[in-house]
Amino acid sequence: MNGQSAQAFQINSVESTQTSSTRLCFRACRLEAQNIFAAHGRGCWANVLCAPPYLHKDREVAQLPNEIHCAHILVNSDKDARMVLDRLNRGEKFSKIAGEVSLCPSRKRGGDLGTFGRGRMVKEFEQAAFALQKGQISSIVKTAFGYHIIKRLE
């Protein structure tokens, strides 16, 4: 088997065992591997295998969530957002603060936005929300709508 067909076999066999949520990552890695292969030629097959870790069958691939469940508190100013963070740091409940000060209609549900997927929120909000771990609260996130404090629920 020549270098290119071995590469295609390795990538395709790994990709076929993964869920659709990780296939986009594999496609990006495939492009990276093809670029390395093109730049260094057939002699670099080992380098191509070692470059992107997603190509290794024996490594666990991090599962990127397709959807997450979050709540948020939306306020008009950085000063108000800092006051919200101070209250949270003193131990007040997120849902209580959201009900009192959030400008978003979700305040009626304690700021609960429900479950949403990628591409549904503005870029800044999405990046911050998807970076959070379950139960974690973000720092201040500024968007065109105002200043958000986000809590990842699930």
Residue-level pLDDT at 63: 60
Q: Which of 69, 68, 63 is nearest to 20 (CA)?
A: 63
What is the CATH classification number for the domain harbouring 137? 3.10.50.40
105 and 38 in a common domain? no
Residue-wise pLDDT tens for the chain (154 aa)? 454 444 444 444 444 444 443 444 444 445 454 554 455 554 443 343 344 444 444 444 456 678 999 999 999 999 999 999 999 999 999 999 999 999 999 999 999 999 999 999 999 999 999 999 999 999 999 999 999 999 999 8
Residue 110 domain-assigned? yes
Residue pair 123/142 in contact (Cβ under 8 Å)? The answer is no
Going 76 to 81 to 82 to 88, the CA torsion angle's sign is positive
Separation of alpha carbons 22 and 93, rounded Å: 35
The pLDDT assigned to 56 comes to 41
**Do residues 75 and 104 share a domain?**
yes
15 found inside a domain: yes
The predicted pLDDT at position 141 comes to 97
**Which three-class secondary structure state does DSSP give residue 133?**
coil
Asked whether residue 134 is domain-assigned, the answer is: yes
R_g over Cα of the chain: 22
Q: Work out the angle at residue 131's Cα, subtended by the Cα atoms of residues 145 and 87, and round it to the nearest 5 degrees.
A: 60
Q: Is residue 44 located within the same domain as residue 78?
A: no
Query: Are 71 and 141 part of one and the same domain?
Result: yes
**Alpha helix (H) residue ranges in 2-153:** 3-16, 20-40, 45-50, 78-89, 94-101, 123-131
Query: Would the pTM count as exceeding 0.85?
Result: no
The per-residue pLDDT for 38 is 53
Report the C-alpha gap between 154 and 71 in whole angstroms: 10
Phi and psi angles of residue 132, each rounded to the nearest 5 degrees, phi first: -80, 150
Residue 62 belongs to some domain of the structure = no
Number of domains making up the chain: 2
The parent domain of residue 48 ranges over: 3-55
